[in-house]
């Protein structure tokens, strides 16, 4: 029997085809790996950017917090303590000597009561009457509006109570108004807010 010689061209073709298939598989594998690495790198960049933004926002919040320290320290003084409603009454009555008008308080209503939870914010209201000359009544009105409290003036009415006469050179005016101030039940160092 005669032995056949392998066809070199066919073997070369098969070897070249195998090499192309191996190269194509390697190319696809490397392409997929590069895409996966790119996706991970983009995801990592997004995470780093988000962390930088969070850190910048935290820095901004701390900056605002630190810059408002003095304002926050004054904040409790703007509220009338439910334990110290007398402070509100005294502040209103102090307007009398400062303005020259006669000040009277006809009613006071306070909410919340001392039995409310610490930190509860309500109101304390007073009906106030100031009597005096035009300038005294207006000065009393301005002083009542500018009390160093979280307060508002409501239902203000100005009436002529006694016209000027020969014996009295100045007319007498009556200013009636309602004042409402923010009232807070004190928060002690040991109590917890709801």
Digit-coded pLDDT (tens) for 118-152:
767 788 899 999 999 999 999 999 999 988 888 88
**What total of structural domains would you count in the chain?**
2
**In terms of domains, do 179 and 104 share one?**
yes
* Residue 189 pLDDT grade (very low, low, confident, very high; cuts 50, 70, 90): very low
Strands 172-184 and 80-81: parallel
Domain residues for the domain of 49 are 7-67
CB 99 within 8 A of CB 139: yes
**Exposed, middle or buried, 2 (CB in 10 Å: 0-12/13-18/19+)?**
exposed
Residue 194 lies in a domain: no
The angle formed by the CA atoms of residues 48, 54 and 58, to the nearest 5 degrees, is 145
Enter the pTM of the model.
0.57
Residue 53 lies in a domain: yes
**In terms of domains, do 97 and 158 share one?**
yes
From 1-10, 75-84, 133-142, the region with the lowest mean pLDDT: 1-10
Token look-up 């070897």 returns: 15
**In terms of domains, do 92 and 175 share one?**
yes
Last residue within a domain, chosen from 35, 67, 99: 67
**In terms of domains, do 50 and 13 share one?**
yes
pLDDT the model gives residue 109 = 86
CB 126 within 8 A of CB 92: yes
Integer Cα distance of 26 and 71 in angstroms: 67
**Long-range CB contacts (within 8 A, 24+) of 12-21:** none
Query: What 8-state DSSP symbol labels residue 33?
Result: H
Integer Cα distance of 157 and 129 in angstroms: 10
**In terms of domains, do 133 and 50 share one?**
no
**In terms of domains, do 81 and 151 share one?**
yes
**In terms of domains, do 158 and 105 share one?**
yes
Residue 193 lies in a domain: no
Last residue within a domain, chosen from 40, 67, 94: 67
**In terms of domains, do 49 and 108 share one?**
no
pLDDT for residue 106 is more than 80: yes
Integer Cα distance of 71 and 168 in angstroms: 48
pLDDT the model gives residue 193 = 42
The arithmetic mean of pLDDT across residues 177-183, rounded, is 88
Rounded to the nearest 5°, which phi and psi values hold at 176? -115, 135
Residue 58 lies in a domain: yes
Last residue within a domain, chosen from 67, 86, 117: 67
């Amino acid at each position: 029997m005669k032995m056949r010689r392998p066809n070199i061209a066919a073997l070369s073709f098969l070897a070249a085809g195998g090499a192309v298939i191996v190269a194509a598989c390697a190319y696809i594998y490397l392409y997929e790996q590069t895409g996966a690495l790119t996706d991970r790198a983009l995801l990592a960049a997004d995470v780093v950017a988000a962390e930088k933004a969070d850190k910048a926002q935290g820095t901004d919040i701390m900056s605002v917090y630190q810059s408002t320290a003095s304002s926050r320290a004054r904040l409790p003084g703007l509220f009338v303590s439910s334990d110290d409603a007398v402070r509100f009454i005294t502040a209103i009555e102090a307007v009398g000597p400062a303005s020259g008008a006669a000040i009277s308080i006809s009613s006071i209503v306070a909410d919340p009561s001392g039995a409310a939870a610490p930190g509860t914010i309500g109101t304390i209201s007073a009906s106030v009457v100031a009597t005096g000359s035009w300038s005294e009544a207006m000065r009393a009105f301005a002083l009542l509006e500018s009390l160093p409290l979280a307060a508002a003036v409501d239902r203000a009415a100005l009436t002529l109570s006694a016209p000027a006469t020969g014996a009295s050179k100045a007319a007498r005016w009556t200013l009636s108004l309602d004042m409402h101030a923010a009232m807070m039940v004190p928060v002690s160092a040991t109590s917890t807010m709801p």
